[in-house]
Amino acid sequence: MRDFLAWVQASALGVAIRESGVWTYAILNLFHILGVATLFGSILILDLRLLGFWRRVPLAALSRATIPLAKVGFAIAATTGVGLLSTNATEYVGNPFLLIKFPAIALGLVNVWVLSRLPAWRAHVERDLTAREHRQLAVMGGISLASWLTAVAAGRMIGYW
């Protein structure tokens, strides 16, 4: 872990960010927050719908709007996150919140991967789902919400360790 973080810090990216002026970290941080807000905000709406909120809003309509937004948010958060980490990566050796955050993100992504392969999910754009399929998707929504909530909470706490 320490070796990996030291390598990230010594990378060309880390060097470039450290040498690029006193506002760089703050601006990266700003875009990281915008990315996280976009990702979490859109995921929250979709997950709550899967868990049974707003039953009268068609799931297909919500997923069409929220999923591309979540992808954009994730891309922004992930790229700026790598940048933030590389500025001073060794600072985070032994930070317990980092060890909660990254597995939580991994779980969230695995959940996305599994969901995208579920017959119930694939069917939601074509037809009404059965009660059983709704329950299946609700479980996926619950896991998603738990993992992203944990990732955001642990991410915020990294700076307070």
Partner 1 sequence: MQKQSIRFSLSLFAAFGLVAALSSPVAAHHGWGGNADQETTLTGTLAAPVSLAGPHGTFKLKTADGQVWDITLAPPARTAGAGLKEGVIPIGATVTVRGHRNKTTNRFEMKTEHVTWNNRTFEVYADRH
| Nearer to partner 1 among residue 125 and residue 153 (C-beta) | 153
Query: Least CB distance from residue 110 to partner 1, whole Å?
Result: 21
Q: Report if residue 67 touches partner 1, rule: CB under 8 A.
A: no
Q: Residue 127 corresponds to which tokens in the numbers above?
A: 């037809």
Between 80 and 109, how does the x/- string for binding to partner 1 read (CB under 8 A)? -------xx--x------------------
User: Are 93 and 45 a contacting pair, CB within 8 Å?
Assistant: no
Between 1 and 40, how does the x/- string for binding to partner 1 read (CB under 8 A)? ----------------xx---xxxxx--x-----------
How many CB atoms are located within 10 Å of the residue 24 CB? Answer: 16
User: Are 62 and 45 a contacting pair, CB within 8 Å?
Assistant: yes
How many CB atoms are located within 10 Å of the residue 73 CB? Answer: 21
Q: CA-CA distances (angstroms) from residue 120 to 38, 59, 75, 87, 130?
A: 26, 12, 26, 43, 9
Q: Report if residue 69 touches partner 1, rule: CB under 8 A.
A: no
Which parts of this chain interact with partner 1 (CB under 8 A)?
17-18, 22-26, 29, 51-53, 55, 87-88, 91, 149, 153, 157, 159-161
